[in-house]
Amino acid sequence: MGAKQTSISAKQTRIGVVVSSLHEACQSLMWNGIFRAAKAKDIEIFTFVATSQDRVDSLDLHIQIVKDFVQRTRLDGLILFTGTIAEFLDARRLEQFYSDFLSLPTVSVSYDIPHVPSIIPDNTTGVIDMVDHFVGMHGYKRIVFVKGPSGHSEAEERFAAYKQGLIKNGIAYDPRLVCEGTFTAKSGVSAVRYLFASAIHFDAVICVNDEAALGVISELKKRHRHIPIDVAVAGFDDITDAAFILPALTTVRQPLFQMGATALDTVMDQIEGRYPPSVRVMPAHPVYRRSCGCFPSAIRNSSPPSEPYPEPVTSELVLERMVKKVGNVLGLNLKDVAQADGSIAQSIGQILAVFESSVHQPESSHPFLNSLDKYLFRVEGLSGNVDSLQMVLLELSSYLGTFNEDFQVLSNGGNLLQQAQVLLREYKLREAQTRNMEEAAFGLRIRETSQKIITTFDLNRLKYTILEDFPEININVFVFALYDTPFRITKEKWRFPDTSKLVVGFNRHINVQDDGSEPLLFDTQELIPQKLRSDKSGAYIFMPLFFKNEQFGYVVFDYVDDQPFFMYEELRLHIGSSLKSSMMMHDLKIQSMVDELTGLYNRRGFVELSRKMIDSARRAGGKLLVFFADLDGLKRINDVYGHDEGDAAISGAASVLTDTFRSKDIIARIGGDEFTVILHVGDMLEPESKIMLRLREKLDDFNAFSGRPFTLSMSVGSSYFEPTGTRSLDDILKEADNRMLAKKRKRYSL
């Protein structure tokens, strides 16, 4: 499986990842787990995206193409996002898809494949716990379940868990409260519409995944139902959007990032000769947020820590507790907190010292708030930075409660902590605004680039835009390759192309650029041509490139940390559309340059292409030879045999000329019965006389076998052309025409 490649080092491990869609929420989180783990181990990953670029919910157009590329690419191991691919393929087609890969170390994610190590979430416990919570904590009794695709293993497990949860809580199963669905927001919308149209009473909804839950929330809001007071909602997965919508979504947290990292570890175990378990079940736990009726943890945890301070209370003890709790929130041990850049522990100590002095003697210069601001600067960029300061403030509040001081001191401390909370809220707001501004600015650059691409109808202009703009949106390696012949995607016509041509490609890591002026042909199995490869491991995203059902080639992007996945989908979509537009424009241009009757170039086409041949001859050296030919007796053929036979004579002359000259020679019909040919003869390996002899032979063959009532003959004149000379092409054509006419006058005819 997979031909041996020479484009990467034999020591470099390359893992393939097959996804149905990289920008889909669950897959992107799992893929990030793979990416981070691979980066830490210097492993190259090559991701194959199998979805249609026009966002049709089907893999029919792509699945065989992607499969062929995976099979022919040099890979050491493979991770299949089988669970998401199973949404689009029935059981038989799914087995056909993955069965050909199993000779390679392979891991399946979110779907249990027999005899293949599989990483799956616990789809049962979390849903049962959610039903327990809905019933026991909030008292909901009429709980709807929005199902996933029928026959999908994960969807069926979650539905079964819902029914187990009802039984456990003594609630009778009511099939009217079960809504058929998919893993999409649309199915959540449809479920709510069905429930209202059927006048079914319900007080809560549990969905097979978060996307469906988002659809439920959207439709309930349109119907002016308050969530959770009127209807509670929960999902499954805990995608990024779940925590940021209003209300925040209660869900079962699937450890997506950890599943991806575990998948990489598991495939590496196989490569290195270890035997991982056949199935690894990852725990999934409920996360309770506002949509079920719970309030956020920030509110629940806003009271001071419950553990009292022992007597006597010392600053050293308070600092020790602060450092420990900050370390837990930031994911750092005590040593890291003490030795981190700028010493986080030192900043915490300064906060404590300034607080102790400020409660006794407040200052207008706000030293306490400045110390908090300095701490936030120290931990900027660390995950949990704001939460860690919240722990510091809670600890100070608890510490203030131990002061045996007068009312004014306690009032000063309370005021300081209140000001600190305002500062913290302001910081969180500014942090979110800054992040949104940066994302908006980057999104604008992506849209500007996309706009340039989609409004480009010329391939050279498209290449220029790619080379100019892609590095500005953090694309460091890019390949845009076309097959020699585009394919219309049907089972009968698709075949894997042996070679592809590089239209445009660059690699900023090794200072290589190729603008495609002379297309580089390379083995398609390489994916990235050798000249664009480097020894540095990376993460690459492969996407088939097509427009509707016409397959052109593919694109490859490198992935840089924290890039938005939608960018790659958008750029692929617009490149495909622009490419199709440029092809259509090229076809229209060719049609305007071609004679409809003969299929030869017309006068316009001859002039334009002749100029290019002259320029090429100037660079390469050598002479051009121009022939001017006139069809003899066309008026007589029209008068005697009719205009259909006259057209047949013109077409016959074109056929004779095409058979006589080479495909790279320019042959044109420039008038009713006039033809001209221009060719590069170099150092005269084939003189004019030899060409004329072949022309006579082709005319004789036509007259012998055409079955036409007329005899085809032509008068021909010729002239040599030195591209570096002073004479123009018009001068040479006129000379050849005059020589032809001279022959006619002497009644010289072929």
The residue-averaged pLDDT of 726-746 equals 80
**pLDDT of 1:** 42
Query: Which range among 134-148, 529-543, 604-618, 720-734 shows the weakest confidence by mean pLDDT?
Result: 720-734
Q: What is the DSSP letter of 44?
A: E
**Could you tell me if residue 91 is left (phi over 0), alpha (psi between -120 and 50 degrees) or otherwise beta?**
alpha
Determine the 3-state secondary structure of 530 from DSSP. helix
- The confidence band for 747, taking pLDDT boundaries of 50, 70 and 90, is low
Cα–Cα distance list, 599 to 49, 183, 336, 602 (Å) = 41, 53, 77, 9
- Please report the DSSP string for 114-155 in residue order: TTS-EEEE-TTHHHHHHHHHHHHTT----EEEE---TT-HHH
Contacts within 8 Å (CB) and 24+ apart, 222-229: 223/192, 223/196, 227/290, 227/291, 228/138, 228/290, 228/291, 228/292, 228/293, 229/293
**Residues 635-670: pLDDT tens digits?**
999 999 999 999 999 999 999 999 999 888 999 998
Helix axis angle, 210-222 to 185-197, nearest 10°: 50
- Whole-angstrom Cα distance, residue 559 to residue 446? 15
Burial zone of 153 (CB within 10 Å; 0-12 exposed, 13-18 middle, 19+ buried): middle
- In this model, does residue 96 exceed pLDDT 70? yes
Parts of the chain belonging to CATH 3.30.70.270: 603-745
Parts of the chain belonging to CATH 3.40.50.2300: 121-255+279-298
**pLDDT of 249:** 96
**pLDDT of 130:** 97
DSSP lists the bridge partners of residue 717 as 628
**pLDDT of 671:** 87
> Do 545 and 576 touch, CB atoms closer than 8 A?
yes
Q: What's the pTM?
A: 0.70
Of 65-79, 208-222, 465-479, highest mean pLDDT:
208-222
Q: Please give the CATH architecture assigned to the domain spanning 121-255+279-298.
A: 3-Layer(aba) Sandwich (3.40)
With a CB cutoff of 8 Å and minimum separation 6, the contacts of 168 are 128, 131, 132
- The confidence band for 60, taking pLDDT boundaries of 50, 70 and 90, is low
Q: What is the DSSP letter of 353?
A: H
| CA-based nearest residue to 199, from 247, 142, 145 | 142
Q: What is the DSSP letter of 292?
A: G
- In this model, does residue 46 exceed pLDDT 90? yes
The residue-averaged pLDDT of 350-379 equals 89
Mean pLDDT of the chain: 86
Structure tokens at 237: 């997965």
- Whole-angstrom Cα distance, residue 356 to residue 319? 12
> Do 540 and 548 touch, CB atoms closer than 8 A?
no
DSSP lists the bridge partners of residue 19 as 49
> Do 522 and 92 touch, CB atoms closer than 8 A?
no
* Total residues found in the chain within this entry: 750
Q: What is the DSSP letter of 313?
A: P
**Residues 569-623: pLDDT tens digits?**
889 988 988 888 887 776 777 778 889 899 899 988 898 888 888 888 877 777 8
**pLDDT of 8:** 40
Burial zone of 363 (CB within 10 Å; 0-12 exposed, 13-18 middle, 19+ buried): exposed
> Do 508 and 476 touch, CB atoms closer than 8 A?
yes
- The confidence band for 488, taking pLDDT boundaries of 50, 70 and 90, is low
- Whole-angstrom Cα distance, residue 391 to residue 90? 51
- Whole-angstrom Cα distance, residue 156 to residue 393? 46
Strand locations in 345-497 (E): 477-488
**pLDDT of 340:** 52
**pLDDT of 297:** 59
Of 186-200, 525-539, 586-600, 660-674, highest mean pLDDT:
186-200
- Give me the percent of the chain exceeding a pLDDT of 70: 90
> Do 182 and 153 touch, CB atoms closer than 8 A?
no
> Do 423 and 429 touch, CB atoms closer than 8 A?
no
- In this model, does residue 72 exceed pLDDT 80? yes
Could you count the other beta carbons within 10 Å of the beta carbon of residue 271? 14
With a CB cutoff of 8 Å and minimum separation 6, the contacts of 66 are 18, 48, 49, 50, 542, 544
Q: Which residue has the higher pLDDT, 285 or 308?
A: 285
- Whole-angstrom Cα distance, residue 78 to residue 107? 6
Q: Which residue has the higher pLDDT, 7 or 234?
A: 234
- The confidence band for 327, taking pLDDT boundaries of 50, 70 and 90, is confident
Cα–Cα distance list, 38 to 18, 41, 70, 106, 568 (Å) = 15, 5, 19, 16, 20
Burial zone of 522 (CB within 10 Å; 0-12 exposed, 13-18 middle, 19+ buried): buried
- In this model, does residue 2 exceed pLDDT 50? no
DSSP lists the bridge partners of residue 483 as 500
Superfamily of domain 603-745: Reverse transcriptase/Diguanylate cyclase domain (3.30.70.270)
Burial zone of 656 (CB within 10 Å; 0-12 exposed, 13-18 middle, 19+ buried): buried
Could you count the other beta carbons within 10 Å of the beta carbon of residue 197? 8
Which sign, positive or negative, has the C-alpha torsion 563, 564, 565, 566?
A: negative
Structure tokens at 231: 């209807």
- Whole-angstrom Cα distance, residue 207 to residue 223? 19
**pLDDT of 20:** 86
**pLDDT of 490:** 60
Structure tokens at 268: 């590496």
**Residues 3-16: pLDDT tens digits?**
333 344 445 899 99
Could you count the other beta carbons within 10 Å of the beta carbon of residue 510? 13
- Residue 316, H or E segment: helix 315-330
Structure tokens at 594: 């071609």
DSSP lists the bridge partners of residue 204 as 143, 232
- The confidence band for 743, taking pLDDT boundaries of 50, 70 and 90, is confident
**pLDDT of 335:** 66
**pLDDT of 656:** 95
Peptide bond into 687 cis (omega under 30): no
- The confidence band for 337, taking pLDDT boundaries of 50, 70 and 90, is low
Structure tokens at 570: 């958008």
Q: Which residue has the higher pLDDT, 37 or 332?
A: 37
Which sign, positive or negative, has the C-alpha torsion 701, 702, 708, 711?
A: negative
**pLDDT of 204:** 97
> Do 622 and 682 touch, CB atoms closer than 8 A?
yes
Structure tokens at 732: 């040479």
- The confidence band for 733, taking pLDDT boundaries of 50, 70 and 90, is confident
Structure tokens at 45: 């990953």
Cα–Cα distance list, 89 to 33, 59, 542, 596, 641 (Å) = 25, 8, 21, 47, 63
- Please report the DSSP string for 407-429 in residue order: HHHHHHHHHHHHHHHHHHHHHHH
- The confidence band for 229, taking pLDDT boundaries of 50, 70 and 90, is very high
**pLDDT of 750:** 45
